[in-house]
Amino acid sequence: MDKISVLISEEEVCKRIKEIADVISDKFKGEEVHLLCILKGSIFFTCELAKRITIPVTIDFMQVSSYGSGTKSSGVITIKKDLDESVEGKNVVIIEDIIDSGNTLKTLKLEIEKRNPKSLMIVTLLDKPDRREVDVKVDITGFVIPDKFVVGFGLDYDQRYRNLPYIGVVEI
């Protein structure tokens, strides 16, 4: 069993998600927003966020991978599951669990921009700016965290620990 220490409590995560939902609701007031959940890690964040947004919401899913087994990005970015619906003319909010190197998000952003959304916003629960390799604009960040390997609230270590209700650091 891996040793995990709490970095961000469940209460802190839920409070910040409500704040993010309020910002999105205000920005798109009177309109509909299309949440683009990046699987698998963003599923918990997307669900909690969607419940708190006060305007009409639609949700779609995309799976993009840059990780192999373990804790390091492979550097190769592939779309494993594409969208089910067009985003053309929609207010799209890309929901990420964590931004590390920025490579995956940059590739994803370019791909979505090609599909002509009305607007595009990027929201991440966690950001590790110390690991950034490419410049990518994030509109809303939940928490800036140190360069530690984190799990919980959708984030995993070899597919384990996604179900933890908090963000924890795995001591490897």
Catalytic residue positions, numbered: 100
DSSP code, position 152: B
Q: Are 94 and 107 in contact (CB under 8 A)?
A: no
Q: Are 96 and 49 in contact (CB under 8 A)?
A: no
Can you name the residues that pair with 33 across neighbouring β-strands?
57
* 3-state SS assignment for residue 94: strand
Residues 6+ away with beta carbon under 8 Å from 55: 24, 25, 28, 29, 30, 31, 32, 33
Burial string for 60-90 (b: 16+ CB within 10 Å, else e) reads bbbebbbbeeeeebeeebeeeeebeeebeeb
Strands (E), 17-158: 33-39, 57-67, 73-81, 91-99, 119-127, 140-144, 150-151
